Amino acid sequence: MKTSRKGLTVNQKYNITGWTFLLPAAILIFAMNFYPMIQALILSFKSGIGNNLKFNGLYNYSRLLEDRVFWTSFKNTFLYLLIQVPIMLALAIFLALLLNKKDLKCKGLFRTAIFLPCCTALVSYSIIFKTLFSFDGYINTVLLNLGIISSRINWLGQEETAKIVIIIALIWRWTGYNMVFYLAGLQNIDDSLYEAAKIDGAGSVKTFFKITMPLLRPTILLTTIMSINGTLQLFDESVNLTGGGPANSTLTMSHYIYKVSFEYNPQFGYAAAMSYIIFILVAVLSFIQMKVGDKR
């Protein structure tokens, strides 16, 4: 083992150099992420306003069980999760398969066009959808002209249709984002596997389920976890498209946390408790998905 003149081995000097580069980032991550998480956990056991916060044990968590608005937001969020995520991921895989064909012309143009929605600012795209689905908007006009509907629909003013608009908006924005992951996964699959399957007489459907899907499993697992995480923290669409209405029918958990923190009587302890409920849900669902998806 080589030793430097100051008594440090070469490996020790390498370790010191590595930690010197990592330390600023580690300090920032702790200060900006982990420290606020610890403070929020402590805050979730307190009640009161401003400097009058007092330790109240599990009161905020027990209060959640009787909060009808919270359970409404919980049901709304899981409805978006159960409907939007499977449709979006299935559509992303389908588009990735189409755009991965070697004989397809203008692939770059199509890929860019499908990916662009996720680059749109959240507020901007919400305003666009709010305009499209307004009572006098383009969607109602087109449907009327085609004879599909007999009178204009108040898309954002009814519970069921308002939820449909949010789901459509989410699919439009995030499908292209997930498609890029699947495209990368497809391009890492060796073409010789498909050629061998073709020689053996396997059709396109069998090839998809026996070769493509198994080899895409890590990517599907990743996108599923990210989509679940993002949907459970859904905020912008509820705020900018519907304002959580009508009658809290589109309110999400993150939107309700914001209302409790800043719009109602500021109740930061109660809001922190709700935030940790989301944290636990994300952790549990991600753990289940990892166990189900990991076939090693």
| Cα–Cα distance, 120 to 115 (Å, whole number) | 10
Rg for the chain, CA atoms, rounded: 25
| Residues composing the chain | 296
Average pLDDT over residues 85-109: 89
Q: What pLDDT digit, counting tens, does each position of 272-284 carry?
A: 999 998 888 888 8
Residue at 39: amino acid letter: Q
Take residue 212 and report the two structure tokens written for it: 């493509």
Q: Decide if 224 contacts 232 (C-beta within 8 A).
A: no
Q: What pLDDT digit, counting tens, does each position of 122-144 carry?
A: 888 888 899 999 988 899 999 99
Average pLDDT over residues 147-153: 89
Count of CA atoms in the C-beta half-sphere (13 A) of 226: 13
Q: Decide if 235 contacts 252 (C-beta within 8 A).
A: yes
What percent of the chain lies above the pLDDT cut of 70? Answer: 96
| Residue 247 clears pLDDT 60, i.e. is over it | yes
DSSP secondary structure of 122-137: HHHHHHHHHHHTSTTS
Residues β-bridged to residue 46:
55
| Cα–Cα distance, 151 to 134 (Å, whole number) | 13
DSSP secondary structure of 60-79: HHHHHTT-HHHHHHHHHHHH
| Residue 26 clears pLDDT 60, i.e. is over it | yes
Which pTM was predicted?
Answer: 0.85
Domains of the chain: 10-55 (no CATH), 64-293 (1.10.3720.10)
Local structure of 165: helix, strand or coil? helix
H helix count then E strand count, the chain: 14, 2
Return the closest-CA partner of residue 207 out of 216, 198, 217: 198
